[in-house]
Amino acid sequence: MLKGSIVALITPFDEEGKVDFEKLRGLVNWHVEKGTDGIVVLGTTGEAATMTHEECVSVVKTVVETAGGRIPVIAGSGSNCTSAMLEKSLTYEKLGVDGLLLIAPYYNKANPEGMYHHFKIVADAVKIPCILYNVPGRTGCSIPVEVVKRLSVHPNIVAIKEASGDISRAAEIARFVNDDFAMYSGNDDQVLPILSLGGSGVISVWANVMPTEVHDMVAAFLNGDVKKARELQLAYLPFINGLFMEVNPIPVKEAMKLAGMPVGGYRLPLCPMSESNREKLERIMKECGLI
């Protein structure tokens, strides 16, 4: 069971808007060096929604090859079409990923039984671990708690990324956490509350900029040093909030640029950060000693 800081990796683009594979390889190596415990590619932060199937396959292949077994790689293979999610999951499994991140079906949503089978079909078909991804702010729907309970006993469903921001819901999900089913925080401002409920770590946007600190925070908590973990969480809370002052991943890419790690722009409908918010983010980063 993977524990710690799992970065929700950005996808770098070049000046022409194409995937910058050289920078992508550099980011993977950097995260290995900085102590990141796992990498998620093609998630929300990775802008997979505006990438072609061919680009997604190339990104997964590049990250898996660059990681070389040094760090687990989890691929976001989700879709609101179950058959498309199945196809992508099988493809990424063949490419050698260590796990899959499966998002709830957005737009068409689904009733509880449809939601259950959406995930079960993929989990039945692959031989690698699957992580449920609950992010109602993006999908317009939540995975019902009772559906999570049913799926938590599936041998290939090993965790949930809980990104609802609802601690009461997280507490309900925590009742199903055991040695075979974990919970990861999907919100960087709520890592410690999730850990206190039995969580195993975070799938983090913040870690794109500060991988060592996020790793150290989770490790400190899991090793019993709650004071150190709390200090890290609260010390960087202004920066964490700044990373979400506009829709993710706009602020985190801007923060990486400000920190000397330019990773290119965005794909429409995402646009560059407003100048006023960029100035706020820069001020926060200076106050936190990041630039």
Given the residues 133, 184, 236, 266, select the one marked as catalytic: 133
Could you tell me where the DSSP H helices lie in 96-210?
112-125, 136-139, 145-152, 167-174, 191-196
Task: Quote the pLDDT of residue 167.
Answer: 97
The yes-or-no verdict on residue 196 having pLDDT over 90 is yes
The arithmetic mean of pLDDT across residues 247-262, rounded, is 97
Q: Which domains does the chain have, with CATH numbers?
A: 4-226 (3.20.20.70)
What are the tens digits of pLDDT across the range 125-148?
Answer: 999 999 999 999 999 999 999 999
pLDDT digits (tens, 9 = 90+) for 23-32: 999 999 999 9
b/e burial code for range 40-53 (CB count within 10 A of at least 16 → b): bbbbbbbbbeebee
Strands 157-162 and 182-185: parallel
What letter would DSSP give residue 291? -
CB 47 within 8 A of CB 270: yes
Residue 158 CA: distances (Å) to CA of 29, 128, 176, 178, 187 = 26, 10, 11, 10, 19
d(CA 264, CA 257): 8
The owner of tokens 């100035």 is 279
CB atoms near residue 65 (< 10 Å) = 13
Mean pLDDT, all residues of the chain: 97
- The angle at the Cα of 272, spanning 101 to 135, to the nearest 5 degrees, equals 25
Q: Residue range 1-14: average pLDDT? A: 96
Take residue 274 and report the two structure tokens written for it.
């407003």
pLDDT digits (tens, 9 = 90+) for 157-192: 999 999 999 999 999 999 999 999 999 999 999 999
**How much is the average pLDDT of 215-219?**
98
Catalytic residue flag (residue 161): yes
**How many C-beta neighbours within 10 Å does residue 178 have?**
11
Distance CA 204, CA 187 (A): 7
Q: What is the model's pLDDT at position 25?
A: 98
pLDDT at 1 over 90: no
Q: How is residue 111 written in tokens?
A: 């009733």
Q: What would the mean pLDDT of 233-254 be, rounded to a whole number?
A: 97
The active-site residue, picked from 23, 120, 161, 253, is 161
Contact 192, 233 (CB under 8 A): yes
DSSP 42: S
